Amino acid sequence: MFNDIGPLELLTLVVLAVLVFGPDKLPKVIQDVTRTIRKIREFSDSAKRDIREELGPEFKDFDFEDLNPKTFIRKQLDNDELGLKEIRNGFDLKKEMAEVTEAVQSADEASSGSGAAAASSGSAPAKIDMQKRPEKPAADDHPPYDADAT
């Protein structure tokens, strides 16, 4: 339960407890806290026992840690009844992204090459550069007034 508390943190908690409760009341507080923790554990164990009894004998080996989504997924991936390891190993995200990027870049180059030829012939509209930012209007330049819109 307290595996991640280091010695310095534990010492700090003890000194803080002595300062807050005082050396006279500290043993009584420690007893109350341990009694409360013990009761909580007993309540939790009895609730688990009741749930197992209600589920029946087919869930005798049921582990409550399986209800944690991470544990459930990890257990299913290790079980591999569905062949998920093959799917996971056969899918390389970096390779797929590189292929998509390459296809998009080649399509852009092809359309820009044909767009330049079409623009010189005058048959196709000019290509809009999406990388270029639009120019901001001047401060004294107001949008046109539309009397019908008001």
Cα distances (Å, whole numbers) of residue 47 to 57, 66, 113, 125: 17, 16, 72, 73
Closest CA to 126 of 135, 116, 134, 136: 116
pTM score: 0.40
pLDDT per residue of the chain (150 residues) written in tens, 0 to 9:
566 788 899 899 889 988 998 889 989 999 999 999 999 999 999 998 888 888 888 777 777 777 788 887 777 766 655 566 666 677 777 888 888 899 888 888 887 765 544 444 455 556 666 677 667 766 677 777 777 776
